[in-house]
Chain A
Amino acid sequence: MVQPVLEWQAGRVTAIRPETRQTKSFTFALPKWMAHRPGQHYDVRLTAPDGYQTQRSYSIASPPERLREIELTVERIPDGEVSPYLHDVLMQGDELEVRGPIGGYFVWDVRLGGPLLLVGGGSGVVPLMAMLRHRAAQHSTVPTRMLYSSRSAEDVIYHDELNGMAAANDGFEAFYTFTRQPPAGWTGYRRRIDAAMLAEVIKPFDKRARVYVCGPTLLVEAVANALVEMELPIEQIRTERFGPTGV
C-alpha cells in the first residue's frame, strides 16, 4: 500500500472544550481526514503575516473510530509560542494548518494486544487516551493499567471519562499519583513516579507488559530508565517525549 503524500491541510475548528485549568480540547474537521493509529500525532503550523513560520506536534486524543475529524488536547505553557495562541486566539470556525497522521513508532491498537501499561505525566495522557478510547470502541478486554501523574486532582485531564472506563470492569484499571496537592483523604500515591511505584503497578503483568510512556521529557527519562533496570525487554517499551513542557 503506497501512502498518500503527507500534505498540509486547513483544519476547521468545530469545537473547543476546556478540560482543566491548563488544558483545552480542540476538534478539527479535516477535508483530507485519514484514519490514524492510536498514539499518532499531527503537526500544527502557524504562519505570521511576515511569513515567519513555526510548528509543533500534538498527539491525537480521539480514536480512529471517530470519522472525518480529530481532537487535540493542548496544555497552555504560559511562556510558550504556540500553545498560548491555540488557547487564547484560536476560535471556533477558524482554520489551522495541520498535517498528519504522523509516526508509526508510538502506536498501539487492539491487534497488538497486551497486557498493556500506559504511563503518562500531565498532557502526556493525550495519546494514551486515544489508545484507551480505541480499546473501548473495539470492546477490547486486553488487560490494561494506566499510571498517571498530575499535580493535583483538578489537573487530571479526562478524569470523568477515565473513571467511567475504569467502572466498566473490562480489564482496565487507572492509578493516579499527585505530585503537589493530593485530594483530601487521598490514600494513593503522592509523589513523582519512581521505580517502586512502577514495580507495584506492573506486578500482575510482569515482564510481559507492553509499555507506552509519554509526557515531559524528564518524566519519560526517569520511567524509561527504571523500566530498563527492571529488565523489561527494550522492544516492549515505547516512549514519546514532549520536551520541557509542564509538570
Chain B
Amino acid sequence: MGTLELDKPGKTVLMMGDEAIARGAIEAGVDFCASYPGTPATEVPESLARVSEHFGIYAEWSTNEIVAFEAATAASLAGLRALVAMKQNGVNVCADFLMTVNLAGINGGLVLVAGDDPSAISSSNEQDSRSYARYADLPLLEPADFQEAKDMTKWAFELSEKLGLPCILRSVTRLSHSRGNVKLGVLPEKTRKAKFEGVYISGAFAAAQHAALHQKLEQAREEFETSPFNFYVGPKKAKFVIVTSGTGWLYSREAVAALGLEAKVGILKIGTTWPLPEKFIVDHLKNVAEILIAEEVDPFLEQNIKILLAEQAKTLGPIEVYGSKSGHRPAYGEMNQDKVVQALASIRGLQLKARDEKYIEQAKELALTYIPPRMPTFCTGCPHRASLWAIKSALKLDGRDGFVTGDIGCYAIGAGPAGYFQIKTIHCMGGGIGLANGFGKLDRFAFNQPVIAVCGDSTFYHAAIPALINAQVHNSNVLMVVLDNGGTAMTGFQPHPGSGFDALGRSAPTVEIENICRGIGVEVRVRDPFEISQAVQELYDMLQEDGPRVMVFRRRCFRIEAKEKLQKKYYVDQTRCIGDDCGCARFCSRVFNCPGIIWDQEAQKAKIDEVVCTGCGVCATLCPGGAIKVRGAAS
C-alpha cells in the first residue's frame, strides 16, 4: 500500500509535494477530480486516480483544462468536493470559465491547483498564476513546504465551501516535484450524495454579483487573519523582517541561519497571499524599519504589501521595502537560498564567506571545456526522431525553404539537434497549427514556403481542432502533421481520447484523429514514421498539394509499447558496417543520433549500446550497409 492510502494518523512519511496535495484532498474527502496533465501539476490527479477505487473518487483525464475545470465545477454544483489541477499555461485555458464561475459561485468545495514552473524548467513560459486570483477575486493559498501542501489543500476545501467560491492553491515545480516530510492526518468517512439545486448564472445581475464577490473576498480576509499558515518567527523587536511566501519561506529561514542573523532578522511568512491578512501583517510590521520580500517570479506579494503599507502609512510610518523593484531579487527565474543570502548581505553590508575563486574556476573550466555538454534528446527508439527526419527529408526534397511550426510537448526538443533543428516556432498548445493557418493564407503576398504544423496527439484533441476547422473553411495551405504516439508522453503517458483507456487504465471508447479530420472534411493520411522512405514520399506528395491536409504519423511511444511487447535485440554486424567511409559516414551515430547507437572508437565501426537500445529497429532500415541486425534472426 502506498503512502496515499495509509490510515495511520500521526505517522510521518516521505511525500512529493503533489502527492501531499492529493493526500490533503483525500483527507478533505474529495469526491471528483478532472484534469489535463501538465508539469508540474500532473502528479496531483495522477495520485488521486491511483487511489480512486480505494476512496470512491471519480477521476478523469479531460480533453483540456477548461473542460476539466467545468466538469469539476459540475461536481461542486451538485454538492460534492472536487479538485482540478493544471500547469500554469492551463490556467490561461481556464480563464474564460474562471472569470464567470467566480460570479456565479459554487456549492461543494472546489479547489484549483495551479502548478507554476519558475525558470520554465518544463514549460514554454514562467508565468506567475497568482495574478489570476487577484484578477478573478478568488482566495489564494501558497503552501511553503510539504506538510503545508497537504494541510492547506484540506483547508482549501473547507474555505471554498464556506465562501461559495473556488479556491486557488498555487504550487511551484520545486514544491510539487520535491519530496519531504509529511505527517498524515485522519481519513474521513465519505457520505456525500450528488444533487443539483439552485441557479448559477453569471452575469444575470453582474454588477450585484461582482459586489457580492468582493464581500466574499472580505470574508476570506477575515478567515485569513487567524490562519495558522501565516506566522512570524524571529526576535520580538526585529527592525528588519523578511516577508515571504511559498518556497521563499524555507530559503529565507536557511539564509538567515547561514548568515547567523537569527537574533536580528525576523521572518513573516504568509500562506494566504490573496486577499492579504492585512491586520495580521500590520501587527507584525509595527516598529519595523526595513523589509525584504522573498517570493518567486512576479512581485505579487511585493506590490500588494506596498499598497498596504501606503494605506497604513499613518500607523506604520516609513518602511523601506527591498524586493524585485529595488533590484534585490530578480522578478524572473527560480528563488533559492543563495539569492536570499545575497540580498540580505547586500542590504546589510555583510561580507560573505566566499567560495575559493580559484577552485570554482578550475571546476568550471572542467565542466565547460573538458567534458562534453549533454543536451536532452528523444528517447532511444522514440518515433518523433523518425518523424522529424522524415519531415526534414520531405522539406529538403521539396526545396522551397519550407519550415515547421510547433507547439509544446516532447517533440519541442525537435527545435534542437535531436530534431535536426526543424521546429521554428513554439508557443502554446495548438499554437503551431494556428500559426500555420495564417501562414497558409499569405500566398497573395508572394509567400510560397510550405508550412508544416506539428502537434502531438494529445494536443490535437486539446487545442488543435478549432484551428484545423478554420484552415478548412478558409482553404489555408497548411500541412498538419500529428505526431501520434498513443498518449500524453511529455507528462508520463496519460491517456487521451484516442488512447482507448481511461485514467484508471480501464478500456474506454476512442475518438480517432482521422475521423475528426474526415468529419471536418480535411484530407487525412495515416502512416508509420518508422517506414521512413514511404513516409518521406507521402509527405513530399502532400507538400505539393494546396489547402489543408493532415498526415498522422502513428507509432506508439516505445515506453507504452515496451510494456506489452518483448523487444528485439539489435546489434551491428561490424563486418558490414561502412563506418566513416563514403557510403555512410557514420550516419547512424553522427546524424540520425539515436542514443542507442554508439561509435566504437577501437573498431572504428558503429555499435549498439544494448543497455539503452529499445529495439525499435528504425536505424536498421536506414543503415546503408545492412549492418544493423536482429540478434538470433536468420540473416
Are A and B bound to each other? no
Chain A interface (Cβ < 8 Å from any Cβ of B): none
Interface residues of B (CB under 8 A from A): none
